[in-house]
């Protein structure tokens, strides 16, 4: 089966995300008052999340100002859906990529954990099956 241009693009983004990140270089800020961390599209120290790396700084700043800024949110999707770096893949792919990147359990000092590898494999399988349409 030949891959579509969209599938090739999603695989490239997924592979790049898996190779680039580890537990410490993700765009995460700690929220001690909530006893948890929070991912940002672009953090104050210049780190960016998997989607934040693909969008302009001004849009990342707008998204980070939202109370709820997941790509599944209408306001978020409306701002990014027509960007050249986002348009080749559907919202469902970006939602799963964001959950993969944001999941603390997916990352350790060296990169992907066993659970992270499992999530990576699951998303890759969905891409290859043509689930993201």
pLDDT at position 56 over 60: yes
| pLDDT grade for 115, boundaries at 50, 70 and 90 | very high
Residue 59 carries which DSSP code? Answer: H
Can you give the residue ranges of every domain in the chain?
5-129
Q: Which of residues 66 and 37 earns the better pLDDT score?
A: 66
Q: Which of residues 39 and 34 earns the better pLDDT score?
A: 39
Q: What is the pLDDT of residue 36?
A: 57
| pLDDT grade for 37, boundaries at 50, 70 and 90 | low
Summary mean pLDDT of the chain: 90
Percent of the chain surpassing pLDDT 90: 65
| pLDDT grade for 31, boundaries at 50, 70 and 90 | low
Q: What is the pLDDT of residue 35?
A: 56
Q: What is the pLDDT of residue 77?
A: 95
Q: 19 with 120: CB under 8 angstroms?
A: no
């Amino acid at each position: 089966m030949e891959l579509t241009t969209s599938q090739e693009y999603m695989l490239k983004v997924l592979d790049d995300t898996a190779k680039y990140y580890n537990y410490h270089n993700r765009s995460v800020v700690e929220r001690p008052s909530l006893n948890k961390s929070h991912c940002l599209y672009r953090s104050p120290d210049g780190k960016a999340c998997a989607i934040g790396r693909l969008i302009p700084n001004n849009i990342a700043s707008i998204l980070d100002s939202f109370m709820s800024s997941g790509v599944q949110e209408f306001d978020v999707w409306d701002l990014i859906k027509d960007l050249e770096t986002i348009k080749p893949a559907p919202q469902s792919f970006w939602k799963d990529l964001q959950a993969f990147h944001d999941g603390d359990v997916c990352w350790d000092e060296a990169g992907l954990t066993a659970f992270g590898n499992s999530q990576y494999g699951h998303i890759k399988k969905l891409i290859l099956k043509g689930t993201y349409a």
